[in-house]
Amino acid sequence: MSTLNRLTMLGSGVLGAQVAWHSAFKGKTVVIYDIAEEALERSKIALDGYAVIYQSDLGASEADIDAARQRLTYTTDLASAVADADLVIEAVPEVPSIKSGLYTSLAPLLPERTIVATNTSTLLPSDFAADTGRPEKFLTLHFANQIWKMNLAEIMAHEGTSRDAITQAVEFAIEIGMVPIPLRKEQNGYVLNSWFVPLLNAAQTLVTKGIATPEDIDRTYMMSGANLGPMGWFDVVGMTTAYNVMSYWGHKNDDADMLSNAEYVKEHFVDKGHLGLLSGKGYYEYPNPAYQRPDFLAVPEIGAAPEIAAIVGSASAVLH
Ligand code: NAD
């Protein structure tokens, strides 16, 4: 059994709220920290939504939900948030300077025993180990979106992480019902995001270049039996994180398509406050997004042919 019973979550956005809620549901005592009260208020609304999902999908009782709520507290004060933490998991924006700044502020506030993990999607523990002031107790513990059904935790260390910290993190992951996925080496994107980020980027390129509609991209993907396509995933991931990842890696790799995709997501979604599922709108509108309609993958009526042909024709017309 791990000694990690008191968790502090840094960042209460899309992933922070899910990991905090899930850990509390599994019996951990959780403090949720964010920089702004508004962010904490938004996360409480998200948690209400997860409570409903845990009842409907996992069979949680009212008593289970109440108990999870009792184990959660919220604060915007970093010092008190971590004063008694066994484990701190950082889930602030995928922007290296924000993460570094937070680790630097955090370092002098932590109890000696505290293990620190980052939930970064694409960065490395060695990028931040020095900032934490406790490299031997720092690693990644990467949770996937929709933690209640994508129950994996990717565990990645840097060369200075102690074996004890790694073991504690693995035990914590198992205690909250995760399948641990140990990484043998540092890898930007772990296992999951090594293909998931390129998938979303490739799909976004089709939209950015006007090649296919988001719905048709998702139809094509969902024909294989998946209940969500890449454009639907943009909404679940959240447009802020999608933008941060594509912008950072677009610049880093001098990838013109990725940078255009980042700009597209910023202009069409982030700047308009259409941040994806949790905001009620992204590529789809929620609740009841189009991809959940029973006829989303159906063969259309024959009468729809001219409308579909017109889409194809708009490209061939250029050739005439
Ligand atoms: P988000 O934008 O939804 O939430 C980030 C939260 O951090 C916000 O509530 C914001 O107010 C807060 N924040 C900003 N600066 C802060 C600071 N200095 N201190 C404390 N809080 C601060 O982002 P997200 O999607 O939850 O992503 C968070 C991290 O988790 C990122 O590293 C991301 O790559 C990773 N992640 C995201 C997903 C996903 O599907 N969204 C999946 C796995 C991992």
Q: What are the extents of the domains in the chain? A: 6-182, 193-319
Would you state the pLDDT for residue 143?
A: 98
Residue 147 pLDDT > 50, yes or no? yes
Would you state the pLDDT for residue 110?
A: 98
Q: Give the tens place of pLDDT for each residue, 68-90.
A: 999 999 999 999 999 999 999 99
The chain-wide mean pLDDT, for the chain, equals 96
Residue of the CA atom closest to atom 4 of ligand 1 = 13
Q: Round to the nearest angstrom and report the end-to-end CA distance of the chain.
A: 71
Q: Can you read off the two tokens belonging to residue 306?
A: 């001219």
Q: Give the tens place of pLDDT for each residue, 26-82.
A: 999 999 999 999 999 999 999 999 999 999 999 999 999 999 999 999 999 999 999
The mean pLDDT of 238-250, rounded to a whole number, is 98
Q: How far is CA 208 from CA 141, 255, 258, 277, 284, in A?
A: 33, 14, 10, 20, 16
The rounded percent of the chain whose pLDDT value lies above 90 is: 95
The rounded percent of the chain whose pLDDT value lies above 70 is: 98
Would you state the pLDDT for residue 314?
A: 62
Lining ligand 1 with CB less than 6 A are: 10-16, 34-36, 39, 91-94, 98, 102, 119-121, 145, 237-238, 240-241
Would you state the pLDDT for residue 320?
A: 46
Q: Give the tens place of pLDDT for each residue, 297-318.
A: 999 999 999 999 988 966 555 4
Q: Give the tens place of pLDDT for each residue, 84-111.
A: 999 999 999 999 999 999 999 999 999 9
- Answer whether 0.85 is exceeded by the pTM: yes
The mean pLDDT of 196-214, rounded to a whole number, is 97
CATH superfamily of 193-319: N-(1-d-carboxylethyl)-l-norvaline Dehydrogenase; domain 2 (1.10.1040.10)
Confidence of residue 2 (pLDDT cuts 50, 70, 90): confident
Q: How far does residue 80's CA lie from ligand 1's centre (Å)?
A: 20
The dihedral formed by the CA atoms of 135, 137, 138 and 140, expressed in degrees to the nearest 10: 150
Residue 319 pLDDT > 90, yes or no? no
Ligand 1 atom index nearest CA of 240: 2
Backbone angles phi and psi of 79, in degrees to 5: -60, -50
Q: How far does residue 238's CA lie from ligand 1's centre (Å)?
A: 10
Would you state the pLDDT for residue 275?
A: 98
The mean pLDDT of 195-210, rounded to a whole number, is 98
At the topology level, CATH places domain 6-182 in Rossmann fold (3.40.50)
Q: How far does residue 23's CA lie from ligand 1's centre (Å)?
A: 17
Cis upstream peptide for 135 (omega within 30°): no
Domains 6-182 and 193-319 share a fold: no
Q: 312, 304 in Cβ contact below 8 A?
A: no
Q: Give the tens place of pLDDT for each residue, 257-297.
A: 999 999 999 999 999 999 999 999 999 999 999 999 999 99
Q: How far does residue 119's CA lie from ligand 1's centre (Å)?
A: 9
Residue of the CA atom closest to atom 9 of ligand 1 = 13
